[in-house]
Amino acid sequence: MDHKQVVKQIITFNKTAFDNTFSAIVTLQEQTERMAGTLMESATWLPDDGKKVINDWVESFKKGRDKFKGGVDDSFKKVEDYFNK
C-alpha cells in the first residue's frame, strides 16, 4: 500500500469534513443574522447608534470568518502541494 496515497486520502477527507462543517456553521450564522435583523427592525427601543454598532460587529465577524477560512484553505493547499511533489 502506498503511504503517500493514504495520506492524500486522509487530507482530502479532512478538507471535505472541514468544508462541510464550515458551510453548515455559515448557514446557521446567516439564519441567526436574518432573525436578529428582523428583531432589530421591530425593536423601537433600540437607538440607531445601537443598531449600527450591532451591524458593524456582524460585518467584522464575517470578515474574521472569511479570513479564517482563507487561512485554513491555504494550509490545506500547502499540505496538498507538499504531498503532490
Query: CB neighbours of 46 closer than 8 A, spacing ≥ 6?
Result: 40
Say what the pLDDT of residue 26 is: 96
Say what the pLDDT of residue 2 is: 85
pLDDT, average across residues 16-39: 95
Say what the pLDDT of residue 84 is: 85
pLDDT, average across residues 46-71: 93
Say what the pLDDT of residue 30 is: 94
Statement: residue 15 has pLDDT above 80: yes
Statement: residue 18 has pLDDT above 80: yes
- Triad 54, 64, 38: Cα angle to 5°: 30
- Triad 78, 14, 77: Cα angle to 5°: 15
- C-alpha–C-alpha distance, residues 60 and 67, integer Å: 11
Say what the pLDDT of residue 46 is: 86
